[in-house]
Amino acid sequence: MCADIIALGSSRNDIHYTAQFSAPSPGGVTRLCADDNDKKVRDWFRDQVLALGADYKVNATGTQFALIEGMDNSIPPIAMGSHLDTVATGGRFDGPLGVLCALEVLRSFREQDIKTRAPLVAINWTNEEGARFFPPLGSSLVYAGQSTIEAAHASYSNDGSPETMGGELQRIGYVGSGPNTFDEFSISAHFEVHVEQQSSLERADKPVGWVQGWEGMTWYEVVFRGADGHANTADMHGRKDSVQGAARFMTSVETLAHNMHGRSTVTAIESGPVGACNIQSRTKVVFCLMHAEGEGLLEMGRRAEGLAKTAASTHGLELDMTRSLHILPGDFTPEAVDCVARACGDKGVGARTLTGHDSLETLLVAPTAMVFVRSKDGVSHSAKEWSDKDDCAEGALVLGKSVLNFDEYLLKK
Ligand SMILES: [Zn+2]
């Protein structure tokens, strides 16, 4: 395979161009799902793919599909997808790089008259980050049959505001009539370029990597309920202060993660009543746990439940605890990973991801693999997130080659 199949660098330019579609976020990007900037970047993406002659569709959960015909359109398309939404005060690369590399592959194949046997589809998944609406992986969960359109539309605001994902997608004009599930629109495979968000490629001195699998992660929502009271006049003894229970729980679950060599992060806190003189009577804590081993993850979850009960009883609180998203460790599809590994050649190395991606959902329905691009110092979800120009170009090149490898694999199958 020749090394010049990709017109190197367009994804990198697009990264910096599309970074303008952001709330004020010095050096980085804040583009939350279905906000006005998300609409602008989606409109931009639509214009780019229409200029390539793609068959363009948007589905009910806002997923954008850009389909390019192959030589045999009876074969389900090979997909290249990721997400254009970011977290608040995020970086320029997490998500957008994958969609923009997909765009670069489509452009480059057209410029160089490379035709695949299977059609190709570039996908922008909705609310991957879950930064504005919970849960994350908003549209890929529905595509993989793990959730419904109704549930995705009802995804609530993390900041307690009344907007839902469905209402906001409707507001920006991104509830469409395109296919919603794998059954309605099947794909032959899904490939996703993503920044590594850790340092294994840097340590190996490699610009790219093939992702063998992921480590386990679980999200929980805990609500502590106490009793209202006057902040100044209520006796310190006998209070049912939900924020004190939550504080005890949060520090204990952090200690648990240290002790079990896992990770724990509180990702959202909501407490009320809001005021200057109230004892807090309801505090919600959303947190995630992460562990390399499945059994370790489950054990952390069991112990975290125990810690929540202890915190609640110590402060006389009622407790509701729900496990909202649970992903055990696993591996991507060997045939697809092999296509990426061969595309990387000696420029790459095998890696594992420590977090969730839309590819974990597509894997449930189709062969799936990911391409990692080296991250500077492994920093992500920060304005400091950075990948060098040549590394991004290498990621796009590997994506293009992986797709061609999989196209060839389908022929031989
Ligand atoms: Zn991402």
Task: Tell how far the Cα of 233 is from the centroid of ligand 1, in angstroms.
Answer: 48
334: CA distance to ligand 1 center in Å?
22
β 64-68/55-58 pair status: antiparallel
Distance 343 CA to ligand 1 centre (A): 22
How much distance in Å is there from the Cα of 1 to the middle of ligand 1?
A: 29
- Tell me what the mean pLDDT of segment 94-119 comes to: 96
- DSSP for 304-348 reads HHHHHHHHHHHTT-EEEEEEEEEE--EE--HHHHHHHHHHHGGGE
146 CA to centre of ligand 1 in angstroms: 19
CA of 128 from ligand 1 middle (Å) equals 7
Q: What's the CA-to-centroid distance between 278 and ligand 1, angstroms?
A: 39
Tell me the pLDDT band of 6, cut-offs 50, 70 and 90.
low
Longest dimension (CA), the chain: 78
359 CA from centroid of ligand 1 (Å): 10
Tell me the CA–centroid distance for residue 357 and ligand 1, in Å.
6
Are 290 and 231 in contact, with CB atoms under 8 Å apart? no
pLDDT at 269: 94
Q: Distance from the CA of 90 to the center of ligand 1, in angstroms? A: 10
Whether pLDDT at 4 is above 70: no
When pLDDT is averaged across residues 260-277 and rounded to a whole number, the result is 95
Q: Please give the distance, rounded to the nearest whole angstrom, from the Cα atom of residue 253 to the centre of ligand 1.
A: 25
Torsion of CA 383, 385, 390, 396, to 10 degrees: -100
Pick the CATH number of 14-215+329-411 from 3.40.630.10, 2.40.160.10, 3.40.50.1110, 3.40.50.700: 3.40.630.10
User: How remote is the CA of residue 127 from the centroid of ligand 1, in Å?
Assistant: 10
Q: How confident is the model at residue 12 (pLDDT cuts 50, 70, 90)?
A: confident
Residue 196 contacts residue 190 (beta carbons within 8 Å): no
CA of 33 relative to ligand 1 center, distance in Å: 13
Q: Which residue has the tokens 């370029």?
A: 193
CA of 121 to the centre of ligand 1 (A): 19
Q: From ligand 1's centre to the CA of 172, what distance in Å?
A: 22
Distance CA 407, CA 412 (A): 9
Structural fold of domain 216-327: Alpha-Beta Plaits (3.30.70)
Tokens 């099947």 belong to residue: 186
Rounded Cα gap, residues 8 and 6, in angstroms: 5
In the reported structure, the alpha carbon of residue 95 is separated from the centroid of ligand 1 by a whole-number distance in angstroms of 4
The yes-or-no verdict on residue 1 having pLDDT over 50 is no
Is residue 3 pLDDT above 50, yes or no? no
Q: What is the pLDDT of residue 8?
A: 58
Query: Is it the case that residue 389 has pLDDT exceeding 80?
Result: yes
* Beta strand ranges found along 234-301 (DSSP E): 263-272, 282-291
Percentage of the chain exceeding pLDDT 70 = 98
Is the CB of residue 284 less than 8 Å from the CB of residue 222?
yes
Q: How far is the CA of 125 from the centre of ligand 1 (A)?
A: 10
Contacts of 31 (CB under 8 A, 6+ apart): 21, 22, 23, 37, 38, 41, 84, 85, 86, 90
Report how far ligand 1's centroid is from the alpha carbon of 93 (Å).
8
> 83 CA distance to ligand 1 centroid (A)?
7
Average pLDDT on 311-318 reads 98
Distance (Å) from CA 123 to ligand 1 centroid: 13
Q: What is the percent of the chain where pLDDT is above 90? A: 93
Comparing 1 with 297, the larger pLDDT belongs to: 297
Distance (Å) of CA 56 to CA 32, 144, 184, 407:
23, 20, 15, 22
User: From the CA atom positions of the chain, what is the Rg in Å?
Assistant: 22
Q: How many A from CA of 197 to the centre of ligand 1? A: 9
- What's residue 11's pLDDT? 77
Identical fold, 14-215+329-411 and 216-327: no
For the cut 80, the answer to whether the pLDDT of residue 295 exceeds it is: yes
Whether 7 shows a pLDDT value over 60: the answer reads no
For the chain, give the number of residues.
413
Interval between CA 312 and ligand 1 midpoint (Å): 35
Segment 327-345 shows an average pLDDT of 97
Angle between helix axes 96-111 and 36-51 (nearest 10 degrees) is 10
Q: Give domain limits for the chain.
A: 14-215+329-411, 216-327
- Distance in Å, CA 169 to ligand 1 centroid: 20
Give 141 Cα–ligand 1 centroid separation in angstroms.
15
Whole-number average pLDDT of the chain: 95
The whole-angstrom distance between residue 254's C-alpha and the CA centroid of its chain comes to 23
Distance 322 CA to ligand 1 centre (A): 25
